[in-house]
């Protein structure tokens, strides 16, 4: 009597796992130090970030141009 029960439990667990994975369409990108970045955010934020960089030279200083010939 005990055997069929033991088989049924892993089958139910497998079915549940299948359901969960179907509900996560996002593609997170794993980066060092456990920072998870969504590709969609990277693309969406790029223009804003470039504006931020260009309008804040104190935080993103550009080296003065080298004299000609160097």
- Residues lying near other proteins in the complex (CB under 8 A) are found at 29, 31-33, 35, 37-39, 41-46, 48-50, 52-53, 56-64
Q: Which position has the token pair 């030279």?
A: 57
C-beta of 15: minimal distance to other proteins in Å? 33
Nearer to other proteins, 17 or 32 (CB): 32
Nearer to other proteins, 13 or 53 (CB): 53
C-beta of 10: minimal distance to other proteins in Å? 36
Nearer to other proteins, 8 or 49 (CB): 49
Using DSSP, state whether 38 is helix, strand or coil.
strand
Following DSSP, what letter does each residue of the chain receive, concatenated?
--HHHHHHHHHHHHHHHHHHHHT----EEEEGGGEEEEHHHHHHHHHHHHHHHHT-TTTSPPPPPPPTT-
């Amino acid at each position: 009597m005990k055997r069929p029960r033991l088989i049924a439990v892993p089958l139910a667990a497998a079915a549940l796992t299948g359901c969960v994975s179907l509900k996560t369409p996002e593609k997170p990108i794993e980066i060092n130090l456990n920072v998870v970045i969504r590709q969609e955010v990277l693309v969406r934020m790029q223009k804003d970030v470039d504006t931020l960089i260009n309008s804040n030279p104190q935080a993103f200083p550009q080296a003065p141009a080298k004299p000609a010939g160097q």
